[in-house]
Amino acid sequence: MSVLLNCQLISKSFSSKSLFSGVTFGVFEGDRLGLIGANGSGKSTLLKILAGIDEADEGEVSRRRHLKVAYIPQSDDFDRNDSIFAAAKRYVEASSIHVDDADVNISRSLSKVGFENMDLLVSALSGGWRKRLAIAGAIALEPDILMLDEPTNHLDIEGVLWLERLLKNSSFAWVLISHDRYFLENTVTKVAELNHIYKDGLLLCEGPYSDFIQKRNELRKEQASYAESLANKVRREVEWLKRGPKARTTKAKSRVDGAQSLMEELSDVRGRLKTSSANIDFSGSERKTKKLITAKDICIKLGGKPLIKNLNLVLSPGIRLGLLGANGSGKSTLLKLLIKEIDPDQGSITHADKLKYVYFEQSRSSLDQSLTLKQALSELGDSVIYRGRSIHVASWAKRFQFRPEQLDTLVEKLSGGEQARVVIARLMLQEADVLLLDEPTNDLDIPTLEVLEESLEEFPGAVVLVSHDRFMLDRVSNVYVGLDGIGTSQVYADFDQWQKSLKNSGAKKKASDKTKPNSNIKKKAKLTYKDQRELDMMEDNILQAESDLASAQAKVDDPSIATNTTDLVKATQELESAQTKVDALYARWAELEAKTD
């Protein structure tokens, strides 16, 4: 496979802080590369450098001639008054990539990601559907390589699964930043971690995320073993130096210099072995009341239609409830019902006497962007009170990986992950019987997610969790409630049981249809009988074609034929043929859809 772009010893700093230094790696045709690292390690900056949006301070990035690169940032800047089609067209026109038949490409891409009414305004879209719109615009550019920064943010679980299928069946290479561990495991074939603990600032490993974790753990053990061996050598040399040798001979002087070099190397190795993560520990009240929150026969409507009906629920200490469902199915609404922020149309919510709860809201609207970090962390000025003990705000900030010089930084200048840590730091100061968390994983890095999961597992009260992060749901939740957005709710033992239920009952299709923007708008039929029949069968034909494409891809990836040139050529031809068929079906779908407008 030929190289698409190559980085040689690139470095980048902001002010006096070095993000990364001496990073070297390449991206090749067919690569599916996951880029990970702690918040602030420079992942987004590196992705922008790869995309040509930013420049490295040092080093060189070389790209193949006429390379087409598409980039999708964490947050979109679509004009909310544009139609879906117009927004995608603006995205394409703003790119330096020339696209033949741009309108056809855009229509095909929008259909491919699930849009039905392309005249709908962007303002009517949820965050997840705006993400799909950005992806459609990027695909319309027919890139050689696609760069995605946290693409699963704002997508519900169904959206994440859809994106997994899209990326696995893509014909282009891609590099993405993600903290979603299951998503990484299911999509990437290479993982690169930016981290100062590695000598070259980056560790690149072939294989899925689980292979990377194994290799990283092995490397860290080797580094720790080497540090111990080095420390023993340094101790021997220090003892020798304490005896006061005279560095008069060339041999003695060389040993003195060597001892100094060993000490410097040991200091460097130990410095790189140091890791840190946020110290998260929610304050539980240790309350033993059996019924903390009771929901009885809860019903609520949205636009005159039932969203939740006849829901009964009891939250007790030790219950860790995961809420499941597509965007718009009522998960966030249920959280607001449970804390009595809104009232049900029918039924009742009962709280235990003097109930204490902590609510992590998805929008983080309670976080005043005009405050400094110090003001946001501490209402008392220079200290906070945590579990009855006064802690200086600088020490409290350090607990959440903030540096002292950041205390005067405005909240609006902090990254998404940093703002999430501020919210968690504020909530930790409140003693609680119940934790209600609405998408707490957005923007958090993997080390922070792991600490958060441990804290939720150990919390003595009740937990209600809404998250698209399946790894966190699996680890934390001990019971699930699935919502379908049309009133039905059901209790499940685990995530897999919910997924199987969706497939068996057909609720998966209902939930998907409900979340498609304006999917119920009737189209004006302008098709012949033959065309209409073709359109009616198109979705099933595309599903079958994508299944054939996946099978063809599996053949190409099969190690058993890698050394058999004849079989490999045949499998590659079958893959190209399957991809051509899928593209042709999507193009035909867009053509038929256009006739109905």
Domain count, the chain: 3
244, amino acid identity: G
Residue 341 lies in a domain: yes
**Is it the case that residue 563 has pLDDT exceeding 60?**
no
**Is it the case that residue 165 has pLDDT exceeding 80?**
yes
The answer to whether residues 504 and 415 belong to one domain is yes
Residue 408 lies in a domain: yes
pLDDT at residue 507, rounded to an integer: 43
The answer to whether residues 161 and 34 belong to one domain is yes
Q: What is the mean pLDDT of residues 566-591?
A: 74
Q: What is the mean pLDDT of residues 23-42?
A: 92
Q: What is the pLDDT of residues 391-442, one digit of tens each?
A: 999 999 999 988 888 999 999 988 888 888 999 999 999 999 999 999 998 8
User: Which CATH number goes with the domain that contains 587?
Assistant: 1.10.287
pLDDT at residue 521, rounded to an integer: 41
The dihedral of CA 221, 476, 126, 106: what is its sign? Answer: positive
The answer to whether residues 491 and 560 belong to one domain is no
pLDDT at residue 221, rounded to an integer: 80
The answer to whether residues 503 and 572 belong to one domain is no
Place of tokens 């074939």: 189
Residue 427 lies in a domain: yes
Helices 529-557 & 157-168, crossing angle to 10 degrees? 70
**Is it the case that residue 522 has pLDDT exceeding 70?**
no
* Residue 446 near residue 181 (C-beta atoms within 8 A): yes
Joined tokens for residue 81: 């008054």
Place of tokens 């994983």: 441
The answer to whether residues 138 and 196 belong to one domain is yes
Residue 573 bridge partners (DSSP): none
The answer to whether residues 417 and 547 belong to one domain is no
Last residue of a domain, one of 187, 213, 239: 213
**Is it the case that residue 449 has pLDDT exceeding 50?**
yes
The answer to whether residues 30 and 67 belong to one domain is yes
Joined tokens for residue 124: 């009517």
Q: What are phi and psi of 308, to 5 degrees?
A: -135, 135
Residue 480 lies in a domain: yes
Q: Which domain holds residue 161?
A: 3-213
Strands (E), 332-466: 346-351, 357-360, 383-386, 389-392, 434-438, 462-466
Task: Give me the chain's average pLDDT, please.
Answer: 85
Percent of the chain with pLDDT over 70: 87
The answer to whether residues 337 and 198 belong to one domain is no
**Is it the case that residue 508 has pLDDT exceeding 50?**
no
**Is it the case that residue 511 has pLDDT exceeding 50?**
no
Tell how strand 58-63 and strand 69-72 pair up: unpaired
Residue 247 lies in a domain: no
pTM of the model: 0.73
Side-chain half-sphere of 55: how many Cα atoms within 13 Å? 2
pLDDT at residue 362, rounded to an integer: 84
Radius of gyration of the chain (CA): 27
Cβ neighbours for 68, distance < 8 A, ≥ 6 positions apart? 97, 141, 142, 143, 144, 145
* Residue 74 near residue 151 (C-beta atoms within 8 A): no
Q: What is the pLDDT of residues 90-99, one digit of tens each?
A: 999 999 888 8
Residue 264 lies in a domain: no
Joined tokens for residue 453: 């999961």
pLDDT at residue 535, rounded to an integer: 76
User: Which CATH number goes with the domain that contains 105?
Assistant: 3.40.50.300
Last residue of a domain, one of 198, 213, 228: 213
Q: What is the pLDDT of residues 347-379, one digit of tens each?
A: 999 999 999 999 998 888 888 999 999 999 997
Place of tokens 């995608």: 88
The answer to whether residues 359 and 492 belong to one domain is yes
**Is it the case that residue 336 has pLDDT exceeding 80?**
yes
Joined tokens for residue 131: 């993400």
Give the residue among 175, 138, 150, 139 at the shortest CA–CA distance from 30: 175
Q: What is the mean pLDDT of residues 471-496?
A: 90
Q: What is the pLDDT of residues 208-217, one digit of tens each?
A: 999 999 998 8
Last residue of a domain, one of 213, 229, 252: 213
* Residue 349 near residue 310 (C-beta atoms within 8 A): no
Cβ neighbours for 280, distance < 8 A, ≥ 6 positions apart? 424, 428, 448, 451, 452, 454, 455
The answer to whether residues 457 and 554 belong to one domain is no
pLDDT at residue 524, rounded to an integer: 42
Strands (E), 30-169: 32-37, 58-63, 69-72, 145-149
Residue 576 vs residue 344, higher pLDDT: 344
CB atoms within 10 A of CB 301: 14
Least confident of 51-60, 185-194, 555-564: 555-564
The answer to whether residues 42 and 167 belong to one domain is yes
539, amino acid identity: E
Confidence of residue 591 (pLDDT cuts 50, 70, 90): confident
pLDDT at residue 205, rounded to an integer: 93
Q: Which whole-number Å values give the CA distances from 556 to 206, 567, 571, 575, 581, in the listed order? A: 17, 9, 6, 8, 17
Residue 176 lies in a domain: yes
Least confident of 83-92, 237-246, 473-482: 237-246
Residue 249 lies in a domain: no
Q: What is the mean pLDDT of residues 377-390?
A: 88
The answer to whether residues 534 and 468 belong to one domain is no
pLDDT at residue 125, rounded to an integer: 87
**Is it the case that residue 523 has pLDDT exceeding 60?**
no
**Is it the case that residue 101 has pLDDT exceeding 90?**
no
Compute the distance between CA of residue 591 and CA of residue 548 in angstroms, rounded to an integer: 23
pLDDT at residue 335, rounded to an integer: 95
Confidence of residue 245 (pLDDT cuts 50, 70, 90): low
Place of tokens 């753990």: 217
**Is it the case that residue 490 has pLDDT exceeding 70?**
yes
pLDDT at residue 571, rounded to an integer: 73
* Residue 310 near residue 297 (C-beta atoms within 8 A): yes
Least confident of 130-144, 256-270, 469-483: 256-270
